[in-house]
Structure 1
Protein backbone atom coordinates (compact mmCIF):
# COMPACT_ATOMS: atom_id res chain seq x y z
CA UNK A 1 0.00 0.00 0.00
CA UNK A 2 2.85 2.36 0.88
CA UNK A 3 4.48 1.71 -2.50
CA UNK A 4 1.26 2.71 -4.31
CA UNK A 5 1.02 5.85 -2.21
CA UNK A 6 4.62 6.84 -3.04
CA UNK A 7 3.94 6.36 -6.77
CA UNK A 8 0.80 8.49 -6.57
CA UNK A 9 2.62 11.29 -4.74
CA UNK A 10 5.49 11.19 -7.26
CA UNK A 11 3.05 11.35 -10.18
CA UNK A 12 1.27 14.34 -8.67
CA UNK A 13 4.61 16.14 -8.16
CA UNK A 14 5.68 15.53 -11.77
CA UNK A 15 2.31 16.75 -12.95
CA UNK A 16 2.84 20.04 -11.19
CA UNK A 17 6.34 20.40 -12.69
CA UNK A 18 5.22 19.78 -16.27
CA UNK A 19 1.88 21.54 -16.07
CA UNK A 20 0.79 23.10 -19.35
CA UNK A 21 -0.84 26.03 -17.60
CA UNK A 22 1.61 28.95 -17.16
CA UNK A 23 1.62 30.72 -13.82
CA UNK A 24 2.58 34.38 -14.04
CA UNK A 25 4.13 35.94 -10.96
CA UNK A 26 3.79 39.66 -11.57
CA UNK A 27 5.09 40.45 -8.10
CA UNK A 28 8.56 39.18 -9.12
CA UNK A 29 9.09 42.15 -11.48
CA UNK A 30 10.29 45.15 -9.48
CA UNK A 31 8.66 48.52 -9.87
CA UNK A 32 10.41 51.21 -11.88
CA UNK A 33 12.03 53.38 -9.23
CA UNK A 34 13.38 55.99 -11.63
CA UNK A 35 11.56 58.97 -13.04
CA UNK A 36 12.63 61.10 -15.98
CA UNK A 37 13.88 63.71 -13.50
CA UNK A 38 16.04 61.28 -11.51
CA UNK A 39 17.75 59.63 -14.48
CA UNK A 40 21.40 60.65 -14.74
CA UNK A 41 22.38 60.94 -18.40
CA UNK A 42 23.89 63.67 -20.56
CA UNK A 43 23.97 64.60 -24.24
CA UNK A 44 26.71 67.12 -24.95
CA UNK A 45 27.61 68.71 -28.30
CA UNK A 46 31.22 69.68 -28.98
CA UNK A 47 31.55 71.20 -32.47
CA UNK A 48 30.47 68.32 -34.76
CA UNK A 49 30.49 65.56 -32.17
CA UNK A 50 27.61 64.48 -29.93
CA UNK A 51 28.73 62.66 -26.77
CA UNK A 52 26.11 60.62 -24.88
CA UNK A 53 26.75 59.34 -21.34
CA UNK A 54 24.71 57.20 -18.94
CA UNK A 55 25.71 57.48 -15.24
CA UNK A 56 23.11 55.08 -13.78
CA UNK A 57 24.87 51.76 -13.16
CA UNK A 58 21.67 49.68 -13.07
CA UNK A 59 20.25 51.18 -16.28
CA UNK A 60 20.85 50.04 -19.85
CA UNK A 61 20.77 53.14 -22.07
CA UNK A 62 19.42 53.52 -25.59
CA UNK A 63 19.79 56.68 -27.65
CA UNK A 64 18.28 57.36 -31.08
CA UNK A 65 19.50 60.37 -33.08
CA UNK A 66 17.45 61.68 -36.01
CA UNK A 67 17.80 64.62 -38.36
CA UNK A 68 15.23 67.35 -39.03
CA UNK A 69 13.48 65.12 -41.60
CA UNK A 70 13.08 62.33 -39.06
CA UNK A 71 15.70 60.05 -40.62
CA UNK A 72 17.69 58.14 -38.02
CA UNK A 73 21.42 58.77 -38.28
CA UNK A 74 22.33 56.34 -35.52
CA UNK A 75 21.32 54.50 -32.36
CA UNK A 76 23.54 53.61 -29.43
CA UNK A 77 23.38 51.51 -26.25
CA UNK A 78 26.84 51.79 -24.66
CA UNK A 79 27.16 53.78 -21.43
CA UNK A 80 29.45 56.18 -23.26
CA UNK A 81 28.77 56.74 -26.96
CA UNK A 82 29.54 59.39 -29.55
CA UNK A 83 28.54 60.21 -33.09
CA UNK A 84 29.98 62.61 -35.64
CA UNK A 85 27.41 64.91 -37.25
CA UNK A 86 29.07 66.77 -40.12
CA UNK A 87 26.17 68.98 -41.20
CA UNK A 88 24.81 72.04 -39.47
CA UNK A 89 21.20 72.00 -38.35
CA UNK A 90 18.90 70.75 -35.61
CA UNK A 91 18.74 67.11 -34.55
CA UNK A 92 16.60 65.15 -32.11
CA UNK A 93 18.03 62.86 -29.43
CA UNK A 94 15.63 60.40 -27.82
CA UNK A 95 16.76 58.56 -24.69
CA UNK A 96 15.22 55.39 -23.28
CA UNK A 97 16.32 53.87 -19.96
CA UNK A 98 15.88 50.11 -19.62
CA UNK A 99 15.63 49.18 -15.94
CA UNK A 100 14.89 45.94 -14.09
CA UNK A 101 11.29 47.08 -13.86
CA UNK A 102 10.95 47.89 -17.57
CA UNK A 103 11.54 50.72 -20.02
CA UNK A 104 11.33 54.39 -19.06
CA UNK A 105 10.81 56.68 -22.05
CA UNK A 106 11.91 60.31 -21.88
CA UNK A 107 10.99 63.42 -23.82
CA UNK A 108 13.07 63.98 -26.98
CA UNK A 109 15.82 66.58 -26.77
CA UNK A 110 16.79 68.98 -29.56
CA UNK A 111 20.45 69.71 -30.24
CA UNK A 112 22.05 72.15 -32.70
CA UNK A 113 25.15 71.71 -34.85
CA UNK A 114 26.39 75.22 -35.59
CA UNK A 115 28.48 74.62 -38.72
CA UNK A 116 29.19 72.07 -41.40
CA UNK A 117 32.56 70.31 -41.22
CA UNK A 118 33.05 67.67 -43.90
CA UNK A 119 36.58 66.97 -42.69
CA UNK A 120 35.02 65.13 -39.76
CA UNK A 121 33.86 62.30 -42.06
CA UNK A 122 35.86 62.50 -45.27
CA UNK A 123 39.25 61.30 -44.07
CA UNK A 124 38.66 58.08 -46.01
CA UNK A 125 39.23 58.76 -49.75
CA UNK A 126 36.22 56.60 -50.65
CA UNK A 127 33.97 59.52 -49.70
CA UNK A 128 35.52 61.67 -52.42
CA UNK A 129 35.42 58.74 -54.86
CA UNK A 130 31.67 58.31 -54.36
CA UNK A 131 30.48 61.90 -53.91
CA UNK A 132 33.16 64.42 -54.87
CA UNK A 133 32.23 66.17 -51.62
CA UNK A 134 29.72 69.00 -51.65
CA UNK A 135 30.09 69.46 -55.42
CA UNK A 136 28.63 66.02 -56.10
CA UNK A 137 29.24 63.20 -58.54
CA UNK A 138 26.93 61.44 -61.00
CA UNK A 139 27.23 57.78 -61.96
CA UNK A 140 25.76 55.96 -64.98
CA UNK A 141 25.84 52.31 -66.01
CA UNK A 142 29.01 51.35 -67.85
CA UNK A 143 27.46 49.88 -70.97
CA UNK A 144 30.79 48.42 -72.12
CA UNK A 145 30.40 45.82 -69.34
CA UNK A 146 27.31 46.78 -67.34
CA UNK A 147 26.64 43.79 -65.09
CA UNK A 148 27.33 40.26 -63.94
CA UNK A 149 26.51 37.64 -61.34
CA UNK A 150 28.48 36.51 -58.30
CA UNK A 151 28.33 34.40 -55.17
CA UNK A 152 27.07 35.88 -51.93
CA UNK A 153 30.61 36.15 -50.54
CA UNK A 154 32.15 37.76 -53.62
CA UNK A 155 34.68 39.42 -53.75
CA UNK A 156 35.97 37.42 -50.79
CA UNK A 157 38.96 35.12 -51.15
CA UNK A 158 37.06 31.99 -50.12
CA UNK A 159 33.59 30.56 -49.76
CA UNK A 160 30.76 31.41 -52.17
CA UNK A 161 32.91 33.82 -54.17
CA UNK A 162 32.37 32.78 -57.80
CA UNK A 163 31.67 35.46 -60.39
CA UNK A 164 30.68 35.80 -64.02
CA UNK A 165 30.83 39.10 -65.88
CA UNK A 166 29.87 38.37 -69.48
CA UNK A 167 31.37 40.38 -72.29
CA UNK A 168 28.56 42.71 -73.33
CA UNK A 169 29.53 42.78 -76.99
CA UNK A 170 28.79 39.04 -77.19
CA UNK A 171 26.03 38.95 -74.56
CA UNK A 172 23.84 41.96 -75.22
CA UNK A 173 20.86 39.92 -73.99
CA UNK A 174 21.75 40.92 -70.40
CA UNK A 175 20.13 44.31 -70.93
CA UNK A 176 19.07 46.66 -73.69
CA UNK A 177 21.69 49.20 -74.73
CA UNK A 178 19.97 52.46 -73.81
CA UNK A 179 20.12 55.32 -71.33
CA UNK A 180 19.11 53.64 -68.05
CA UNK A 181 19.35 56.83 -66.02
CA UNK A 182 21.80 58.07 -63.39
CA UNK A 183 22.67 58.26 -59.68
CA UNK A 184 23.91 61.48 -58.09
CA UNK A 185 25.60 61.70 -54.68
CA UNK A 186 26.73 64.84 -52.87
CA UNK A 187 27.54 66.15 -49.39
CA UNK A 188 25.96 69.59 -49.80
CA UNK A 189 24.66 70.12 -46.23
CA UNK A 190 23.36 66.53 -46.10
CA UNK A 191 23.99 62.99 -47.37
CA UNK A 192 22.10 63.69 -50.59
CA UNK A 193 21.24 61.19 -53.30
CA UNK A 194 18.99 61.34 -56.33
CA UNK A 195 18.24 58.60 -58.84
CA UNK A 196 16.81 58.98 -62.32
CA UNK A 197 15.57 55.53 -63.37
CA UNK A 198 14.51 54.56 -66.88
CA UNK A 199 11.66 52.06 -67.23
CA UNK A 200 12.43 48.48 -68.25
CA UNK A 201 10.36 48.99 -71.39
CA UNK A 202 10.52 52.31 -73.21
CA UNK A 203 12.26 55.55 -72.31
CA UNK A 204 10.07 57.04 -69.56
CA UNK A 205 11.96 58.00 -66.41
CA UNK A 206 11.18 58.54 -62.72
CA UNK A 207 13.13 60.83 -60.41
CA UNK A 208 13.52 60.27 -56.66
CA UNK A 209 15.60 62.16 -54.09
CA UNK A 210 16.55 61.29 -50.53
CA UNK A 211 19.53 60.60 -48.33
CA UNK A 212 22.07 57.82 -48.10
CA UNK A 213 24.30 56.05 -45.59
CA UNK A 214 27.80 55.04 -46.69
CA UNK A 215 28.98 52.36 -44.25
CA UNK A 216 32.59 52.00 -45.37
CA UNK A 217 33.76 49.43 -42.76
CA UNK A 218 30.94 47.07 -43.78
CA UNK A 219 31.02 47.84 -47.52
CA UNK A 220 27.38 48.89 -47.42
CA UNK A 221 25.37 51.64 -49.09
CA UNK A 222 21.82 52.41 -47.91
CA UNK A 223 19.30 54.56 -49.79
CA UNK A 224 16.65 56.37 -47.71
CA UNK A 225 13.47 58.27 -48.51
CA UNK A 226 12.05 55.90 -51.12
CA UNK A 227 15.16 56.04 -53.32
CA UNK A 228 16.44 52.80 -54.86
CA UNK A 229 19.69 51.87 -56.57
CA UNK A 230 19.99 52.50 -60.30
CA UNK A 231 19.74 49.31 -62.36
CA UNK A 232 19.40 48.18 -65.95
CA UNK A 233 17.65 45.23 -67.55
CA UNK A 234 14.68 43.15 -66.45
CA UNK A 235 15.87 42.19 -62.96
CA UNK A 236 13.78 44.31 -60.63
CA UNK A 237 11.30 41.55 -59.74
CA UNK A 238 14.08 39.08 -58.88
CA UNK A 239 15.31 41.21 -55.94
CA UNK A 240 13.39 42.16 -52.80
CA UNK A 241 15.79 44.85 -51.57
CA UNK A 242 17.12 47.64 -53.78
CA UNK A 243 17.82 50.03 -50.89
CA UNK A 244 20.52 48.26 -48.84
CA UNK A 245 23.26 47.22 -51.25
CA UNK A 246 26.78 45.79 -51.22
CA UNK A 247 29.67 48.04 -52.26
CA UNK A 248 31.91 45.62 -54.13
CA UNK A 249 34.36 48.06 -55.69
CA UNK A 250 34.89 51.80 -55.70
CA UNK A 251 37.61 53.92 -57.32
CA UNK A 252 37.64 57.34 -58.94
CA UNK A 253 36.37 55.84 -62.19
CA UNK A 254 34.61 52.61 -61.21
CA UNK A 255 31.71 51.67 -58.95
CA UNK A 256 30.31 48.17 -58.51
CA UNK A 257 27.17 47.58 -56.42
CA UNK A 258 25.55 44.24 -55.67
CA UNK A 259 21.99 43.29 -54.76
CA UNK A 260 20.83 39.84 -53.67
CA UNK A 261 18.71 37.85 -56.10
CA UNK A 262 16.45 36.24 -53.51
CA UNK A 263 13.18 35.76 -55.41
CA UNK A 264 14.23 34.48 -58.82
CA UNK A 265 11.29 34.18 -61.18
CA UNK A 266 12.97 31.21 -62.87
CA UNK A 267 13.72 29.31 -59.66
CA UNK A 268 17.45 30.00 -59.55
CA UNK A 269 19.28 30.14 -56.23
CA UNK A 270 20.45 33.15 -54.29
CA UNK A 271 23.37 35.15 -55.64
CA UNK A 272 24.46 38.72 -56.16
CA UNK A 273 23.49 40.67 -59.25
CA UNK A 274 26.33 43.14 -59.71
CA UNK A 275 25.96 46.40 -61.64
CA UNK A 276 28.93 48.38 -62.89
CA UNK A 277 28.96 52.18 -63.15
CA UNK A 278 31.24 54.92 -64.43
CA UNK A 279 31.22 58.69 -63.83
CA UNK A 280 28.85 60.52 -66.12
CA UNK A 281 30.85 62.26 -68.85
Structure 2
Protein backbone atom coordinates (compact mmCIF):
# COMPACT_ATOMS: atom_id res chain seq x y z
CA UNK A 1 0.00 0.00 0.00
CA UNK A 2 1.36 3.37 -0.97
CA UNK A 3 1.19 6.17 1.53
CA UNK A 4 -0.20 9.65 1.06
CA UNK A 5 2.45 12.41 1.20
CA UNK A 6 1.33 15.01 3.72
CA UNK A 7 4.27 16.29 5.70
CA UNK A 8 7.29 13.95 4.98
CA UNK A 9 4.98 12.79 2.14
CA UNK A 10 3.61 9.88 4.06
CA UNK A 11 -0.03 9.03 4.75
CA UNK A 12 -2.40 6.51 3.28
CA UNK A 13 -5.99 7.09 2.32
CA UNK A 14 -9.59 5.93 1.80
CA UNK A 15 -13.02 5.76 3.46
CA UNK A 16 -16.62 4.49 3.51
CA UNK A 17 -19.47 2.47 4.95
CA UNK A 18 -20.40 -1.07 4.00
CA UNK A 19 -20.40 -1.84 0.30
CA UNK A 20 -22.85 0.67 -1.13
CA UNK A 21 -24.37 0.60 -4.62
CA UNK A 22 -21.95 2.02 -7.16
CA UNK A 23 -22.54 5.77 -7.39
CA UNK A 24 -21.36 6.02 -11.00
CA UNK A 25 -19.54 3.96 -13.57
CA UNK A 26 -16.12 5.14 -14.70
CA UNK A 27 -14.62 3.81 -17.94
CA UNK A 28 -16.89 0.74 -18.11
CA UNK A 29 -14.83 -0.91 -20.86
CA UNK A 30 -12.86 -4.08 -20.17
CA UNK A 31 -12.86 -7.85 -20.48
CA UNK A 32 -16.33 -9.12 -21.40
CA UNK A 33 -18.12 -11.24 -18.83
CA UNK A 34 -16.36 -9.87 -15.75
CA UNK A 35 -18.61 -8.39 -13.09
CA UNK A 36 -16.79 -6.30 -10.51
CA UNK A 37 -17.38 -7.25 -6.90
CA UNK A 38 -15.79 -5.21 -4.13
CA UNK A 39 -16.56 -3.51 -0.86
CA UNK A 40 -15.56 -0.18 0.66
CA UNK A 41 -16.24 -0.04 4.39
CA UNK A 42 -15.82 3.00 6.61
CA UNK A 43 -14.81 2.40 10.23
CA UNK A 44 -17.60 3.37 12.59
CA UNK A 45 -16.59 6.29 14.80
CA UNK A 46 -13.48 6.98 12.73
CA UNK A 47 -14.66 7.44 9.17
CA UNK A 48 -11.20 8.53 7.99
CA UNK A 49 -10.25 4.85 8.10
CA UNK A 50 -11.52 2.67 5.27
CA UNK A 51 -11.26 -1.02 4.54
CA UNK A 52 -11.07 -2.03 0.88
CA UNK A 53 -11.83 -5.59 -0.23
CA UNK A 54 -11.63 -6.97 -3.77
CA UNK A 55 -13.94 -9.95 -4.32
CA UNK A 56 -13.68 -10.13 -8.11
CA UNK A 57 -12.23 -13.42 -9.33
CA UNK A 58 -9.83 -13.54 -12.23
CA UNK A 59 -8.61 -9.94 -12.07
CA UNK A 60 -5.68 -7.98 -10.71
CA UNK A 61 -7.22 -5.23 -8.54
CA UNK A 62 -6.15 -1.63 -8.24
CA UNK A 63 -7.61 1.04 -5.92
CA UNK A 64 -7.44 4.78 -6.61
CA UNK A 65 -8.44 6.49 -3.36
CA UNK A 66 -7.79 10.13 -4.35
CA UNK A 67 -4.71 10.57 -2.19
CA UNK A 68 -2.87 7.53 -3.48
CA UNK A 69 -3.33 4.05 -4.86
CA UNK A 70 -2.68 0.41 -4.05
CA UNK A 71 -2.78 -2.90 -5.91
CA UNK A 72 -3.37 -4.91 -2.76
CA UNK A 73 -6.43 -7.13 -2.89
CA UNK A 74 -7.46 -6.02 0.60
CA UNK A 75 -6.19 -2.85 2.26
CA UNK A 76 -6.89 -0.46 5.11
CA UNK A 77 -6.25 3.16 4.20
CA UNK A 78 -6.79 6.63 5.63
CA UNK A 79 -8.73 9.52 4.11
CA UNK A 80 -7.03 12.49 5.78
CA UNK A 81 -9.46 15.25 4.76
CA UNK A 82 -13.14 15.94 5.26
CA UNK A 83 -15.36 15.96 2.20
CA UNK A 84 -16.95 13.83 -0.50
CA UNK A 85 -14.63 11.70 -2.62
CA UNK A 86 -14.88 8.89 -5.18
CA UNK A 87 -12.87 5.75 -4.56
CA UNK A 88 -12.24 3.96 -7.86
CA UNK A 89 -11.82 0.20 -8.17
CA UNK A 90 -10.15 -1.31 -11.26
CA UNK A 91 -10.15 -4.95 -12.31
CA UNK A 92 -7.38 -5.89 -14.76
CA UNK A 93 -7.81 -9.03 -16.82
CA UNK A 94 -6.42 -7.62 -20.04
CA UNK A 95 -5.05 -4.44 -21.53
CA UNK A 96 -8.15 -2.43 -20.66
CA UNK A 97 -9.53 -2.72 -17.10
CA UNK A 98 -13.07 -2.52 -15.92
CA UNK A 99 -13.65 0.26 -13.42
CA UNK A 100 -16.34 1.39 -11.02
CA UNK A 101 -16.44 3.83 -8.13
CA UNK A 102 -18.06 4.51 -4.79
CA UNK A 103 -18.71 7.93 -3.34
CA UNK A 104 -17.49 8.27 0.25
CA UNK A 105 -18.06 11.01 2.80
CA UNK A 106 -15.50 11.85 5.48
CA UNK A 107 -16.89 13.92 8.33
CA UNK A 108 -13.71 15.62 9.54
CA UNK A 109 -10.01 16.05 8.90
CA UNK A 110 -8.17 13.11 10.41
CA UNK A 111 -7.90 13.92 14.15
CA UNK A 112 -5.00 11.50 14.56
CA UNK A 113 -2.82 12.79 11.75
CA UNK A 114 -3.57 16.44 12.46
CA UNK A 115 -3.23 16.02 16.24
CA UNK A 116 -0.31 18.45 16.51
CA UNK A 117 -1.54 21.95 17.44
CA UNK A 118 0.96 23.39 14.94
CA UNK A 119 -1.32 22.38 12.06
CA UNK A 120 -4.03 24.65 13.42
CA UNK A 121 -1.59 27.45 14.19
CA UNK A 122 -0.28 27.43 10.63
CA UNK A 123 -3.52 26.91 8.70
CA UNK A 124 -6.60 27.51 10.88
CA UNK A 125 -7.83 24.20 9.46
CA UNK A 126 -10.13 24.19 6.45
CA UNK A 127 -11.05 27.84 7.01
CA UNK A 128 -7.51 28.99 6.21
CA UNK A 129 -5.08 31.52 7.64
CA UNK A 130 -3.34 34.44 5.91
CA UNK A 131 0.15 35.64 6.79
CA UNK A 132 1.77 39.00 5.88
CA UNK A 133 5.17 40.58 6.54
CA UNK A 134 5.83 41.49 10.21
CA UNK A 135 7.13 44.96 9.38
CA UNK A 136 6.02 46.32 12.77
CA UNK A 137 7.94 43.68 14.78
CA UNK A 138 9.77 45.48 17.64
CA UNK A 139 13.16 43.93 16.80
CA UNK A 140 13.07 44.86 13.08
CA UNK A 141 13.46 41.19 12.23
CA UNK A 142 11.18 41.01 9.21
CA UNK A 143 13.92 39.93 6.79
CA UNK A 144 17.70 39.60 6.64
CA UNK A 145 20.77 37.51 7.38
CA UNK A 146 22.53 36.58 10.61
CA UNK A 147 24.71 33.95 12.31
CA UNK A 148 23.72 30.30 12.02
CA UNK A 149 22.50 30.11 15.61
CA UNK A 150 21.03 33.61 15.90
CA UNK A 151 17.30 34.18 16.58
CA UNK A 152 17.37 37.42 14.56
CA UNK A 153 19.10 38.76 11.40
CA UNK A 154 21.87 40.74 13.09
CA UNK A 155 24.22 40.94 10.08
CA UNK A 156 21.93 42.61 7.57
CA UNK A 157 18.33 43.85 7.44
CA UNK A 158 17.14 45.67 4.30
CA UNK A 159 15.43 49.03 4.66
CA UNK A 160 11.74 49.43 3.96
CA UNK A 161 12.71 51.24 0.76
CA UNK A 162 14.67 48.17 -0.32
CA UNK A 163 11.76 45.87 0.56
CA UNK A 164 9.48 48.08 -1.50
CA UNK A 165 11.93 47.77 -4.37
CA UNK A 166 11.68 43.99 -4.14
CA UNK A 167 7.94 44.36 -4.85
CA UNK A 168 6.87 42.12 -1.98
CA UNK A 169 5.58 44.42 0.78
CA UNK A 170 1.92 43.70 -0.04
CA UNK A 171 2.34 39.96 -0.48
CA UNK A 172 -0.02 37.61 1.36
CA UNK A 173 0.38 33.88 2.03
CA UNK A 174 -2.64 31.70 2.84
CA UNK A 175 -2.57 28.10 4.11
CA UNK A 176 -5.61 25.85 4.53
CA UNK A 177 -6.59 22.20 4.97
CA UNK A 178 -9.71 22.22 2.79
CA UNK A 179 -9.55 18.76 1.12
CA UNK A 180 -5.79 19.12 0.79
CA UNK A 181 -2.62 20.91 1.86
CA UNK A 182 -3.43 24.13 0.04
CA UNK A 183 -1.28 27.23 -0.33
CA UNK A 184 -1.88 30.51 -2.11
CA UNK A 185 0.52 33.39 -2.68
CA UNK A 186 -0.86 36.82 -3.50
CA UNK A 187 1.91 38.76 -5.24
CA UNK A 188 1.62 41.75 -7.52
CA UNK A 189 -2.15 41.51 -7.45
CA UNK A 190 -2.12 37.91 -8.76
CA UNK A 191 -2.82 34.70 -6.90
CA UNK A 192 -0.71 31.57 -7.35
CA UNK A 193 -2.28 28.35 -6.06
CA UNK A 194 0.03 25.59 -4.87
CA UNK A 195 0.46 23.06 -2.07
CA UNK A 196 2.76 22.72 0.91
CA UNK A 197 4.62 20.11 2.92
CA UNK A 198 4.75 20.61 6.68
CA UNK A 199 6.52 18.52 9.31
CA UNK A 200 5.30 19.51 12.79
CA UNK A 201 7.83 17.23 14.48
CA UNK A 202 11.00 18.57 12.85
CA UNK A 203 9.32 21.94 12.20
CA UNK A 204 10.06 22.28 8.51
CA UNK A 205 8.00 23.87 5.74
CA UNK A 206 8.24 23.59 1.96
CA UNK A 207 6.04 25.16 -0.70
CA UNK A 208 5.35 22.98 -3.73
CA UNK A 209 4.73 24.83 -7.00
CA UNK A 210 5.33 28.30 -5.57
CA UNK A 211 7.26 29.84 -2.66
CA UNK A 212 6.95 32.03 0.40
CA UNK A 213 7.16 35.77 -0.22
CA UNK A 214 10.64 36.72 -1.47
CA UNK A 215 11.70 33.13 -0.86
CA UNK A 216 14.56 30.88 -1.92
CA UNK A 217 12.55 27.82 -3.09
CA UNK A 218 13.98 25.66 -0.35
CA UNK A 219 12.86 23.70 2.70
CA UNK A 220 12.56 26.22 5.54
CA UNK A 221 13.21 25.62 9.23
CA UNK A 222 10.53 27.13 11.45
CA UNK A 223 11.93 29.17 14.35
CA UNK A 224 8.60 30.39 15.70
CA UNK A 225 4.99 29.45 15.05
CA UNK A 226 2.32 30.94 17.26
CA UNK A 227 -1.23 32.15 16.73
CA UNK A 228 0.19 35.47 15.51
CA UNK A 229 3.76 34.91 14.29
CA UNK A 230 5.51 32.72 11.73
CA UNK A 231 9.29 32.99 11.57
CA UNK A 232 11.30 30.77 9.21
CA UNK A 233 14.94 30.52 8.15
CA UNK A 234 17.06 29.08 5.38
CA UNK A 235 19.81 27.35 7.31
CA UNK A 236 23.30 27.64 5.89
CA UNK A 237 26.78 26.71 7.10
CA UNK A 238 27.32 29.27 9.87
CA UNK A 239 24.57 31.61 8.61
CA UNK A 240 20.82 31.98 8.39
CA UNK A 241 18.46 33.90 6.15
CA UNK A 242 15.35 35.10 7.98
CA UNK A 243 11.68 35.69 7.10
CA UNK A 244 9.30 36.98 9.75
CA UNK A 245 5.54 37.04 9.08
CA UNK A 246 2.48 37.80 11.18
CA UNK A 247 -1.19 36.88 11.04
CA UNK A 248 -3.08 39.28 8.80
CA UNK A 249 -4.88 41.77 11.02
CA UNK A 250 -2.46 41.39 13.95
CA UNK A 251 -0.42 44.36 15.24
CA UNK A 252 2.55 44.17 17.59
TM-score by length of structure 1 reads 0.50
Q: Is the Cα contact below 8 Å between 1:133 and 1:186 reproduced in 2?
A: yes
How far does residue 107 in structure 1 lie from its aligned partner after superposition? 2.9
1:229 aligned to which of 211, 218, 223 = 211
* 1:136 maps to 2:131: no
The answer for the alignment partner of 1:216 in structure 2 is: 200
1:87 aligned to which of 68, 79, 82 = 82
Partner Cα separation in structure 2 for residue 166 and residue 230 of structure 1: 18
Flag structure 2 segments of 5+ consecutive residues without an equivalent: 1-31
Partner Cα separation in structure 2 for residue 277 and residue 92 of structure 1: 39
Flag structure 1 segments of 5+ consecutive residues without an equivalent: 1-34, 67-72, 152-161, 198-203, 262-268
Could you say which structure has the larger radius of gyration?
1
The answer for the alignment partner of 2:176 in structure 1 is: 186
Partner Cα separation in structure 2 for residue 61 and residue 110 of structure 1: 15
The answer for the alignment partner of 1:145 in structure 2 is: 141
Q: Alpha carbons of 1:148 and 1:177: their partners in 2 closer, same or farther (altered >3 Å)?
A: closer
Q: Alpha carbons of 1:48 and 1:126: their partners in 2 closer, same or farther (altered >3 Å)?
A: same
1:44 aligned to which of 24, 37, 41 = 41
Aligned pairs, how many? Answer: 202
1:123 aligned to which of 99, 102, 115 = 115
- 1:166-185 alignment, distance < 5 Å: 166-167=153-154, 171-172=157-158, 176-178=162-164, 179-185=169-175
Q: Is the Cα contact below 8 Å between 1:142 and 1:277 reproduced in 2?
A: yes
How far does residue 258 in structure 1 lie from its aligned partner after superposition? 5.2
Q: Alpha carbons of 1:103 and 1:220: their partners in 2 closer, same or farther (altered >3 Å)?
A: farther
The answer for the alignment partner of 1:23 in structure 2 is: none
CA-based RMSD: 4.8
Q: Alpha carbons of 1:77 and 1:206: their partners in 2 closer, same or farther (altered >3 Å)?
A: same
Q: For residue 122 of structure 2, give the secondary structure of its aligned residue in structure 1.
A: helix
Q: For residue 153 of structure 2, give the secondary structure of its aligned residue in structure 1.
A: coil
Structure showing the higher helix proportion among its residues: 1
The answer for the alignment partner of 1:275 in structure 2 is: 243
Q: Alpha carbons of 1:104 and 1:83: their partners in 2 closer, same or farther (altered >3 Å)?
A: farther
Q: For residue 104 of structure 2, give the secondary structure of its aligned residue in structure 1.
A: strand
| Structure showing greater relative contact order (alpha-carbon pairs closer than 8 Å, 6 or more residues apart) | 2
Q: Alpha carbons of 1:141 and 1:80: their partners in 2 closer, same or farther (altered >3 Å)?
A: same
Partner Cα separation in structure 1 for residue 160 and residue 129 of structure 2: 26
The answer for the alignment partner of 2:14 in structure 1 is: none
